[in-house]
Every structure is written in C-alpha cells, then in structure tokens.
Amino acid sequence: MAQTRDFLLKQLNERQKAAVSAPLGNALVVAGAGTGKTRVLVSRVLWLMLVENIEPRRILAVTFTNKAAGELKERLAALVDARSAAAIWSGTFHSICLRLLRSYANQIGLKHDFTVMGRDDQHSLVKRLTKEHGINLKDRRLTEKEVVEKISRFKGKGQRAAEICRQIHSDQKEETVATLYAAYEEECVRQDLLDYDELILKTVEMLRDHPELRELQHSRFAEILVDEFQDTSTLQYELLKLLRGPDSHLFAVGDDDQSIFSWRGAAVGNMQSFAEDLPGVERYQLSDNYRSMQNILDMANVLIEQNHERIMRKVLTTSRGQGEKVQICKFQNVSSQARFVQGEISRLCRDEGCKPHEIAVLYRNANVSLECEKALAAAGLNYQVFGGQKFFDRAEIQDAIAYLRILVNERDDSALMRIINVPSRKLGDKSVETLRLCARERSLSMLQCLGVLMQGAAERDAGAEVKRLAHKFDSFYGVYLKLRSLRDRACSLTSLVRDVLEQSGLIEHYKQLDDKNDAYKTGNIRHVNLQELVNHAERFEQENSELQAAVSLSDTAVDGAKPGSNDMLTAFLSGMTLRSSLELNQEGQVLTAEDFVNLMTIHSAKGLEFKAVFVVSFNDSILPSMYATQKLNFNLSALDEERRLAYVAITRAQDRLYLCYSERMPIYGQWQDASPSAFLREMIDPYRRKPDKDRPFVIRLPDYE
C-alpha cells in the first residue's frame, strides 16, 4: 500500500500531491491552465481505487467532452486492468443523464426508446410551431434562434414552461417565447423527443421526485469527480448535488479564468457556491505551469489581470525558462495572414523539427478558417478542421438519421416530416399538413395515422376521399414498410444502416444532386458523406460489442436494461447527437494520429495543448466579438468572457505563440478596415517603457506583403 502510494505521488509536485491524496471528502481544486489538471484527475481516480479501495464502478467522473472521458479511461487502462477502467462511470453530463434515463425510463413514464434531438430539430420544431400559432417572429423582433436559446436558458435554470407562463407580465416578446416554450414542451412529450437540456432537466426532476431512485444513486456512487467545473450550469450543479449522497463526495476541478461557456448557461458562481453548499470543502490551488514557456505565460498573466470579475487570482509561472518571444504580427489582409501562417508552419516543420499535429491555428469564428485552409491546401500541407459545422449536422446526414429515427420511434413526427418527401415523392406542404391534422384528431402520430389510413383505404367500402389521400402517400408508405422489414430482419447495425440508405432512395437522390451541382469540384460530395455514415455505424458496432462485453462482466448492478438489436440502433442515434466536435473532424473521420495541422475554434481547443499556436484574426469585433463590444455599456462580463477566451487561446501554446491580425477583412462580403484587438494593446501597454529585451513579445511585420 505504501508502495502504490509512493508510486502515485512520485511524479507530482507538492500542491498536486495534496489534492490527489486529499482525505475522502468534498474538495475544490482550482487549477490554472497547464498546471496538470488532467494528471491530478487521473491520479485521484487511481488513488481512490488503489489506496482508498473504492470499487471502480462506484466512481463517477464527469468530463467536458466524450473524448476527454475516453482519454481518462485510456490513461487508467494503461495503469490498472482494462476491466476496472471500463467499469468507471465516465462521460459528459449529457451522456451520463442519457444512461440514467434509459435505465429508469419506464419508472418515470418515459418511453425507453425516446429520441435525443439536436439543434437542427429544435430549430425546425420552433419554426413549425411558430407557423402553427400564427406568430410572426419578425413583428415581435425575435428570431427562431433566439427562441431556441431562450428555451434552453429556461431549462438550464430548471424552469418549465408552466412556470414561465405564470410569470409573464404583458411583455409581448416574453409572452411569445412563453407560448412557444409551452407548445414546444408539449410537442416534445408527444413525440418522445428530448433535447440536450431536457436530458439534464429530466434527470434532475427524476432524482428530485423519486427518492428511491435518488437513494439508489447515493449508494452506488461513492466518489464523484467533475472536470471543468467552471463550465457547469446551475442545473448541472443541481444534478451533482442530487447524485451525491450523505456518504459520498464531490471532487471538483476547475479554473474560473477559463470559463468560456457562460452563453450556454455555465455559471462560474458555482465555484463560489461550492464551499458554502457542501460540508467540509477543502480547497487546493495549482499555479505551477508545465506547459508553456514563461514569455507566453507573461502575456497570459498580464491579459487576464485586466478582468473585472476574477474569483481566484492566480499568476502562472513555469520553470521551463523564458523561451522564444511571442510574435505579434500585422497583415494587410486575411490572405497575406494565411500565407504567413502557412509559410511559418512549413518552416517550423522543416527547420525546427515540429510535427504538423503539434501545431494549431485557432480562431474566434469558424468562418475565419477558410483563408487558412486555402493556403495550407495550396502548399500541400495536411490539415484537419474541427468545430464549425459538424459532420452530423449536414443535411444529408440528418436525412439519413431521420430515416433511422422513424424506425426506432414511430411517434417521431419531426423526423417523419423531414424525410417524407426526400427524395421527392410529390408530397407538398399541403398533403403533409392534412396528414398531420388527421393524426392530431385521432391523437396518433403521423406514421401511425398513415398506417390506419392505408388500411382503411384498402377496405372495400372506403370513401373516394380516403382513397385519394392514401394514394398520395402510397409511395412513401411502401418505402417505410420495406425499411421496417429490413429493421426486423437486420443482422447487424452496419448492414441495416447501409440498406436503409440504399432502399430509402437517399443515396440515389444525393448522387443526382452531386452530379448536378458539380460537387466533385468543391470536394463536398454528399453521397460519399452518406457512405461515411455507414463506416461510422461499423465502428460504433465494433466498439460497442467490446464495451458491452466489458461492462456486462463488471457492472452487473445496472438496472435491468435488456440489450437488443433495436437498442443498438437507439444507442447509435443518441450517440451521434451527443458526439462532441472534437471527436470527429469535418469529414466525419475519427481523429487520426497522422500528421495533420489542427484548425479549430478557440472553444473547441479547450483542454488541448500544442507546441506552436497561431491565433489568427485577432482583431477587434472578432475577438472580442462585435456582440460583446456592443454590450459593453450594459455589462463588462461579456467582455470579460472574451478576454478569458483570448486567455484560453494563448495558454494552449507550449513553445511558440503567434498573435496575428489583419488590417482589412471581409465583412458582409465587403472589404472593410479592421483594427487590432483591444486585448493586444492590453498586453503590450504594460511594457511600453521597457527596452525590447525585457519584453515577452516582438512586434513583427512579416515580409510577405
């Protein structure tokens, strides 16, 4: 025991040791960027298992992405046996809630084959409801997106539509949102659809209202660890408190300076509440940085110092040395910026022994990546893009998913409406609307109603009206029946997905579109993307059969879930909706170990590190965003968050950091003058009077222009 103990602590510094070997109890670890947060987390899990003798299946680790959960397990598997590593409950809030909800669905009046809906579905649902209620959003100065966001905010605070409706006071805008929220909620229940926030909210309500289920979790989870605690929402925090029993503990790791998701409901205040809400919270703070050279940290420290709402001030230091100076580079336009980035990357790889995958180009908005992509492609450098539009968000993939969804959940009207006329079956809004109303009258789903209709039309005494309507849907219903029998006969997920794509006519449909739009030139060939989906299914199936074997051995206590072939499809569908943008690049391929330069948004670079980092388009109205600058009069917190975002970008760099901005950029398709980010000035100003050699940066005018 003393040996394992020493082994675990050997490679840690004093502060890390203290956190890892903390006595069982509630703990808050404030860990600055690059201070070995992941190492502490992994070591703590090992500590719990090996020193405190806690069964792996009684440990719950909540991570920010599924990828992080995977890495955690991977690192553990290398140090303990694979079975133990697999037994640990780890995943995002969403995936953990999904797992709990599927287990207890029938006990809380939820169909066990409910569908998880993504952003796309939320939008089209709101759009449809708006029309149905005869609401003109423009009149009320609202957008669809705003409505979706507001609903999400309400749910993120645990507020149901009924509560919101009660609260409104004659504000037209609020009233509209409340009406739509109520309709949205109703429709989701009808169709057994759960959006992202609903996964959390339902779980919270479940644990709150069902003491027996809550106590079951209390006895199951002895230790709960949370990564990126600063980015938890009030509701997620609520969930953690419900999951924690009187004898179990919460070990939260976070950094208030890296909170960059408040727009999606994250409440940094949770870090402060933590010590007040839970008994006997011990605090640990890490500020010894192992990632970056001191020059990089100096820039980061100076920048974050400007924030108004810091909770736990820390100054990052390293013993790695000063390192290269940070380069601040000015360009005439975005294409010369891109050419510089490309040229410098080539140079780093050629002369400095850098590997492409150790280099990242980071930006505030996904659309900025385009110029860089072009330049890298022209130079023949391999790169992969993360963030921005995800593979699974593409129209063709969503169509495919919709076909699969109606096979899992026949009440899923949203999915049905998406594909009932794709490929074209001569069904327009009118026929579909007739069907929808007909279904509503009989309180059936559209698909169920269609079944009844077809049966009715086949009878001898069927009316002409019924026959005519049924005839319109003949073609679709035939396809549906065929797909359904495929589902029942399918021997594997992969073959089912392949057959559904083929038999639905989707592949053929997109092949024709690709031909027509000369898609082969742009490289975005949609029927090929559909093929890629089949590959996904195959990988998913492989991974899951391994996983199932491992879990069924070690996690016998999980609550009577009966795996079947349909469950595989259900899991595949939810998995795709909950997949993080980091796990797949934009082509839908899994992260490769091959040598690709990484292009990503700063948000998706969270938690990662690279030898060399280029922050591009570090301009005013980009970073900080125009949105945040405009809000400046009302609150400084929007600007603070932008500053944290810049801070996160800077602290990704280990050895080299380039901060690039352009003097002209295209806005609304027109070239306009652009100024450097105010944050650049904030970092430069404190060094105004210092001689060059004492500055952590150089201002450079690359000779590319």
327 catalytic residue (yes or no):
no
Sequence-distant (≥ 6) Cβ neighbours of residue 538 within 8 angstroms? 493, 494
Give min distance, CB of 298 to DNA, in A. 26
Q: Which is nearer to DNA, 145 or 539 (CB)?
A: 145
Would you call 227 a catalytic residue per the annotation? yes
Q: Which residues bind DNA (CB under 7 A)?
A: 64-66, 92-95, 119, 127, 143, 145, 196, 260-261, 263-264, 364-367, 387-388, 390, 421, 424-431, 578, 580-582, 601, 603-604, 625-628, 638, 666-670
State the SS3 of 615-657: ECCCECECCCEHHHHHHHHCCCHHHHHHHHHHHHHHCCEEEEE
In angstroms, the CA 533 to CA 527 distance is 10
CB nearer DNA, residue 125 or residue 582? 582
Q: What's the CA gap between 376 and 387, in Å, rounded?
A: 18
CB 583 to DNA: min, Å: 8
Q: Which CB, 357 or 509, lies closer to DNA?
A: 509
Return d(Cα 257, Cα 304) in angstroms, integer: 7
- ∠650-655-658 over CA atoms, to 5°? 50
What dihedral do alpha carbons 218, 223, 229, 232 form, nearest 10°? -20
Please state the closest distance from residue 460 (CB atom) to DNA, in A. 28
Which one is catalytic: 227, 396, 410, 642? 227
Write down the catalytic residue from 121, 223, 228, 396: 228
Considering beta carbons, is residue 316 or 417 the nearer one to DNA?
417
Closest to DNA by CB, 5 vs 145, is 145
β-bridge partners, 601:
363
Q: By C-beta, is 7 or 627 nearer to DNA?
A: 627
Judged by CB, which is closer to DNA: 378, or 553?
A: 378
384 catalytic residue (yes or no): no
Mark whether 228 is an active-site residue.
yes
Give the 3-state secondary structure of residue 252: strand
Closest CA to 341 of 698, 614, 665: 614
Measured CA angle at 427 (ends 422, 431), to 5 deg: 135
Distance of CA 287 to the CA centre of its chain: 28
- d(CA 408, CA 410) in angstroms, rounded, equals 6
Residue type, 355: K
Closest distance to DNA from the beta carbon of 300 (Å): 19
- Reply yes or no on whether 208 is catalytic: no
- Shortest gap between Cβ of 367 and DNA (angstroms)? 5
CA pair distance 403, 502, nearest whole angstrom: 11
Angle between helices 395-408 and 526-554 (to 10 degrees): 50
Residue with tokens 């029993």: 245
Min. distance of Cβ 601 from DNA in angstroms?
Answer: 4
Q: How many CB atoms are closer than 10 A to CB 442?
A: 11
Which of 15, 16, 35, 37 is catalytic? The answer is 37
Q: Toward DNA, which CB reaches closer, 27 or 600?
A: 600
> Residue 100 Cβ, how far from DNA at the closest point, in Å?
15
- Tell me, yes or no, if 38 is annotated catalytic: yes
**Which CB atom, from 96 or from 354, has the smaller least distance to DNA?**
96
Q: How far is the CB of 421 from DNA (least distance, A)?
A: 5
Catalytic residue among 58, 314, 644, 652: 652
Please tell me the distance from the alpha carbon of residue 240 to that of residue 235, in angstroms, as a whole number: 9
Pairing of strands 670-673, 664-667: antiparallel
CA distances from 292 to 33, 320, 370, 586, 657 (A): 9, 7, 28, 29, 10
Overall residue count recorded for the chain in this entry: 705
Task: Tell me phi and psi for residue 654, to 5 degrees.
Answer: -90, -60
Nearest residue to 309 via CA among 276, 272, 278, 364 = 272
Furthest C-alpha separation in the chain? 96
Q: Which among 64, 41, 16, 521 has a CA at the least distance from the CA of 259?
A: 64
What's the order of all strands across the beta sheet hosting 223-226? Answer: 89-91, 59-62, 223-226, 249-254, 27-31, 282-286
**Cβ proximity to DNA, 142 vs 328, nearer residue:** 142
- By CB atoms closer than 10 A (0-12, 13-18, 19+), residue 465 is exposed
CB proximity list for 151: less than 8 A, separation 6 or greater = 122, 126, 177, 180, 181, 184, 197
C-alpha distances in angstroms, 6 versus 12, 78, 96, 251, 285? 10, 18, 33, 21, 21
Comparison of 430 and 688: residue with beta carbon closer to DNA: 430
State in angstroms the smallest separation of the CB of 475 from DNA: 11
The enclosing H or E element of 664 equals strand 664-667
CA triple 52-53-58, angle to 5 deg: 105
- For residue 232, what are the contacts with CB-CB under 8 A and spacing of at least 6? 93, 226, 240, 266, 267, 270
Measured from the CB atom, the residue of 95 and 295 that comes closer to DNA is: 95
The catalytic residue positions are 37-38, 227-228, 258, 652
